[in-house]
Amino acid sequence: MHNLAIALKQNGYQVTGSDDEIFEPSRSRLMQYNLLPDRDGWSPEKISGELDAVILGMHARKDNPEMLKAQELGVKIFSYPEFLYHHSRNKKRIVIGGSHGKTTITGMVMHVLKEMGKDFDYMVGSKLRNFDVMVRLSDDAPLMIFEGDEYLTSPIDRRPKFHWYKPHIALLSGIAWDHINVFPTFENYIEQFSIFIGLIEKNGTLIYCKEDHVLENVVAAARDDIRKIPYFLPEYRVKSGKTTLVTLEGEFSLKVFGKHNLMNINGARLVCNELGVSNDDFYKAITTFSGAANRLELVRQANGNWLFKDFAHAPSKVFATIRAVREQFPGKKLVACLELHTFSSLSKGFLNEYRGSFDLADEGCVFFNPHAVNLKRLPSLHHDDIREGFGNEKLVIFDNSKKMTGWLMVQKVPETVFLMMSSGDFDGMDWDKLSSQLV
């Protein structure tokens, strides 16, 4: 939401906002653009009939006093995705969706288009190098690139966000059950992707990962008035910690690695082809893509040791991330650590989805904060529940971040790769301090 506020201000709008708590880096960035509210909390007295619109974030509650005041006064209320669609009605819309990889693929497409000098608006879910903000809105750009999130739109609109965007070009990277608090069965979750495909504009294009069999079945049942273009794992090789793409246009050394990222590259290539970018130009541009923030991001490398952090939290992401690091560093000790942070991952009944995910790690630990469990009003989580769910008796479980850090330090030997995975922050992890201890 703070990126949208910045984008609107950059586009000439007068913007104000409010929240009950504002964390970093949002607070500093809002301050930088003179958008930080004078105080935390809600101020319904500031809502008047003179406002053009109120944009409602997903995490506002149904009884939010500012929203209720806006409803009472008849002020137009947009959800975040509704407003983005409203802005892009007369543009060509490109939507990147899927249970995993959508941020990275969106970032890849944006990176290549920028390298090609193309003008486009965008909304992406992570900070990207060479992009100041995560949202850009302009009057003139003919395209808008969306990261298509399947989570709910707002407290008063319970449809998934990506159902709003009605793409001309869509990409789906795969389907793996997530967000069980709003999609209680896998069938219900799959249905949201079928609906999304049904909302692609007539004569539009759907690019999809053919190696995901659940997705392949969904696409096979989709309507026939859209083009369906599959993509696969491309040819590549890994040598001395470097991944190289092998293509008809030549060989291209990459800054990213892992089979999932190679699949992401192939999907992004097909999107860029649809936007007029040749394979040769795409491959040359993608060699300088270094990834999105917190997506297999290298924190530090020294003395033969490595420390990566990754946003992986859903089971499919954990599997893919550990597999990628194992393949990239086959001769090194791999120590993997996962924080359970989301509603799904902290739910006892969902833990079986992680079964086998740590099998390729030499040592592994799982951390959870009991406070997070309480905040989500979930039943207490026990260490044995986690071990049983993951199907790994060797797994070490922590509910105290200092003890976890102590355990990590014991694992340090020459030629070790540390992989820290979380959509949270490991209870306020000091990454500079950790990297100096481990690497």
SS (H, E, C) the chain: CHHHHHHHHHCCCCCCCCCCCCCCCHHHHHHHCCCCCCCCCCCHHHCCCCCCCEEECCCCCCCCHHHHHHHHHCCCEEEHHHHHHHHCCCCEEEEEECCCCHHHHHHHHHHHHHHCCCCEEEECCCCECCCCCCEECCCCCCEEEEEECCCEEECCEEEEHHHHCCCCEEEECCCCCCCCCCCCCHHHHHHHHHHHHHCCCCCCEEEEECCCHHHHHHHHCCCCCCEEEEECCCCEEEECCEEEEEECCEEEECCCCCHHHHHHHHHHHHHHHHCCCCHHHHHHHHCCCCCECCCCEEEEEECCEEEEEECCCCHHHHHHHHHHHHHHCCCCEEEEEEEECCCCCCCHHHHHHHCCCCCCCCEEEEEECHHHHHHCCCCCCCHHHHHHHHCCCCCEEECCHHHHHHHHHHCCCCCEEEEEECCCCCCCCCHHHHHHHHC
Residue-level pLDDT at 293: 87
Domain end: 252, 267, 286, which one? 286
Q: Is residue 409 in some structural domain? A: yes
Q: Is residue 191 in some structural domain? A: yes
Can you read off the two tokens belonging to residue 134? 């995560």
Q: Is residue 263 in some structural domain? A: yes
Residues 111 and 216 occupy one common structural domain = yes
Domain end: 75, 91, 117, which one? 75
Is the pLDDT at 181 greater than 90, yes or no? no
Cis amide bond preceding 81, omega within 30: no
Q: CA-to-CA distance for 117 and 290, rounded, in angstroms?
A: 19
Please compute the mean of the pLDDT values over residues 4-25 and round it to a whole number.
92
Q: CA-to-CA distance for 100 and 313, rounded, in angstroms?
A: 10
Residues 325 and 279 occupy one common structural domain = no
Task: Give the pLDDT band of residue 375 (cuts 50, 70, 90).
Answer: confident
Q: CA-to-CA distance for 89 and 385, rounded, in angstroms?
A: 48
Residues 137 and 51 occupy one common structural domain = no
CATH number for position 226: 3.40.1190.10
CA dist 260 → 6, 66, 83, 173 (Å)? 32, 43, 32, 10
Taking only the tens place, the pLDDT of each residue in 136-154 is 999 999 999 999 999 999 9
Is the pLDDT at 373 greater than 90, yes or no? yes
Q: Is residue 180 in some structural domain? A: yes
Residues 150 and 131 occupy one common structural domain = yes
Residues 152 and 14 occupy one common structural domain = no
Q: What is the pTM of this model?
A: 0.91
Q: Is residue 266 in some structural domain? A: yes
Domain count, the chain: 3
For 239, the 3-state DSSP assignment is strand
Residues 130 and 99 occupy one common structural domain = yes
Domain end: 286, 320, 335, which one? 286
Taking only the tens place, the pLDDT of each residue in 111-144 is 999 999 999 999 999 989 899 999 999 999 999 9
Q: Which residues pair with 421 in a beta bridge?
A: 310, 338
Q: Is residue 291 in some structural domain? A: no
Task: Give the pLDDT band of residue 24 (cuts 50, 70, 90).
Answer: confident
Question: Average model confidence (pLDDT) for the chain?
Answer: 95
Task: Give the pLDDT band of residue 185 (cuts 50, 70, 90).
Answer: very high
Residue-level pLDDT at 213: 96
Residue-level pLDDT at 66: 96
Residues 305 and 253 occupy one common structural domain = no
Is the pLDDT at 294 greater than 90, yes or no? no
Q: Is residue 37 in some structural domain? A: yes
Classify the C-alpha dihedral 212-217-220-223 as positive or negative: negative
Q: Is residue 292 in some structural domain? A: no
Can you read off the two tokens belonging to residue 223? 């309507």
Contact of 143 with 94, CB cutoff 8 Å: yes
**Nearest-CA neighbor of 109 among 336, 306, 272, 294?**
272
Taking only the tens place, the pLDDT of each residue in 204-257 is 999 999 999 999 999 999 999 999 999 999 999 999 889 999 999 999 999 999
Is the pLDDT at 58 greater than 90, yes or no? no
Residues 210 and 277 occupy one common structural domain = yes
Q: CA-to-CA distance for 126 and 292, rounded, in angstroms?
A: 6
Is the pLDDT at 298 greater than 90, yes or no? yes
Q: Which residue has the tokens 């708590």?
A: 21
CATH number for position 368: 3.90.190.20
* Burial annotation 11-34 (CB, 10 A radius, 16+ → b, else e): eeeebebbbeebeeebeebbeeee
Residues 46 and 107 occupy one common structural domain = no
Contact of 122 with 105, CB cutoff 8 Å: no
Residues 184 and 306 occupy one common structural domain = no
Range of the domain at 58: 2-75
Residues 22 and 139 occupy one common structural domain = no
Task: Give the pLDDT band of residue 21 (cuts 50, 70, 90).
Answer: confident
Residues 178 and 260 occupy one common structural domain = yes
Is the pLDDT at 189 greater than 90, yes or no? yes
Q: What is the maximum alpha-carbon separation in the chain?
A: 65
Residue-level pLDDT at 381: 94
Contact of 398 with 367, CB cutoff 8 Å: yes
